[in-house]
């Protein structure tokens, strides 16, 4: 088969993918190709590996049998533009990495690390030892985290937060779905219990996929319900949280702080049209919370296994859309 690898990060594992799938396939390392070259090659491509695909390229994929997303979210793939015989699969393994990132950011916000760092770099020794007017930082033990979405990422966040003494509660589409046996949340409810979760949580973590139902899910009313001491962490998609509402809440003190790993725009544009970068109560990262070697090495294994299954006529794993061929 002819396989197009159009993903810069997974490109670091290109040799591993070749080793795992054998020498019988032709691989196209396309992550640095101009768009026109990708389009020109789509008609002769059997497997496309990447996170984004234009509608034109999807329609040109006359030979396509599999589009393999390099991650969980497949919102960058125009499913309707693909031929009926094309299967789409995804992969995961990011939950543990994102959970560590979330806990790191919450600790930074709870202990005012951003302000302390900026002040010390400017030559000012800012601590309660020299300024009795400064507020203390706080420990996390005994606080409550509310997780919106309780899939792989959400449950890993719950497990890690639980380990450091945070109480965990969550809302999800199916509150009756089984949980890992070592995870003991205070409660798990349906999405109708979101107002309760917001009101009861010291930290709110957003992990839901972007959809028509979740776009703008967190707005002015929801931020106000959280309370002035609460923190918001978004590791889902930027538009799940209303941009203007969040900036207003952070500048007005409606909430205490936020950690944002996802944004409302992508390079080469600025992440937001609002000056979040001027706020010391915001931890900003460039959508890299899941970017660890462990995450992508495991994803490469999954993708290679599915390519091998496709070549051998075996069922695919992690299918989000089954082709009819």
Q: What's the burial of 69, exposed, middle or buried (CB within 10 Å: 0-12/13-18/19+)?
A: buried
Per-residue pLDDT reduced to its tens digit, 238-294: 999 999 999 999 999 999 999 999 999 989 999 999 999 999 999 999 999 999 999
> Please, which pLDDT band fits residue 325 given cuts at 50, 70 and 90?
low
Give the strands of the sheet with 257-260, arranged side by side: 187-189, 167-171, 144-148, 203-206, 231-234, 257-260, 282-284
Q: Above pLDDT 90, what percent of the chain?
A: 94
Q: How many C-alpha atoms does 197 have within 13 Å on its Cβ side? A: 26
- Count of C-beta atoms within a 10 Å radius of residue 308: 14
Contact 61, 45 (CB under 8 A): yes
The CATH number that domain 95-284 falls under is 3.40.50.720
Q: Which residue in this structure is represented by tokens 């992690």?
A: 318
Averaged pLDDT of the chain: 96
pLDDT band at 76 (very low <50, low <70, confident <90, very high): very high
- What does DSSP assign to residue 309? H
CATH 3.40.50.720, the chain: domain bounds: 2-93+293-321, 95-284
Q: Taking a C-beta distance cutoff of 8 angstroms, is the pair 307, 22 a contact? A: no
Residue 135 has pLDDT above 90, yes or no: no
Q: Tell me how far the alpha carbon of residue 103 is from its chain's centroid.
A: 14
- What gap in Å lies between CA 161 and CA 268, rounded to an integer? 34
Does the domain at 2-93+293-321 match CATH 3.40.50.720? Answer given as yes
């Amino acid at each position: 088969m002819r396989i197009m690898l159009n993903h810069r990060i997974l490109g670091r594992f290109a040799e591993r993918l070749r080793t795992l799938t054998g020498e019988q396939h032709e691989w196209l390392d396309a992550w640095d190709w101009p768009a026109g070259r990708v389009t020109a090659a789509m008609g002769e491509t059997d497997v496309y590996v990447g996170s984004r695909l234009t509608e034109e390229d999807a329609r040109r994929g006359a030979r396509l049998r599999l589009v393999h997303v390099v991650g969980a979210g497949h919102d960058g793939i125009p499913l309707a533009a693909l031929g009926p015989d094309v299967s789409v699969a995804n992969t995961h393994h990011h939950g543990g990495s994102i959970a560590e990132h979330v806990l790191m950011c919450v600790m930074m916000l709870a202990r005012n690390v951003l302000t302390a760092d900026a002040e010390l770099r400017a030559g000012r020794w800012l601590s309660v030892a020299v300024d009795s007017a400064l507020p203390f930082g706080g420990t996390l033990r005994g606080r409550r985290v509310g997780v919106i979405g309780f899939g792989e990422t959400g449950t890993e966040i719950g497990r890690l937060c639980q380990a450091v003494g945070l109480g965990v509660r969550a809302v999800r589409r199916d509150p009756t779905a089984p949980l890992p046996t070592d995870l003991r949340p205070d409660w798990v409810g349906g999405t109708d219990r979101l107002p309760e979760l917001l009101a009861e949580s010291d930290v709110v973590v957003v992990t839901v996929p972007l959809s028509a139902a979740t776009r703008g899910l967190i707005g002015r009313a929801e931020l106000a319900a959280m309370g002035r001491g609460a923190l918001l962490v978004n590791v889902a998609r930027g538009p799940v949280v209303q941009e203007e509402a969040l900036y207003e809440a952070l500048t007005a003190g409606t909430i205490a702080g936020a950690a944002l790993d996802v944004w409302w725009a992508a390079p080469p544009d600025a992440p937001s049209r609002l000056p979040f970068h001027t706020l010391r109560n915001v931890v900003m990262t460039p959508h890299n919370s899941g970017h660890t070697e462990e995450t992508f090495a495991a994803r490469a294994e999954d993708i290679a296994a599915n390519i091998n299954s496709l070549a051998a006529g075996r069922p695919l794993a992690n299918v989000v859309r089954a082709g009819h061929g």
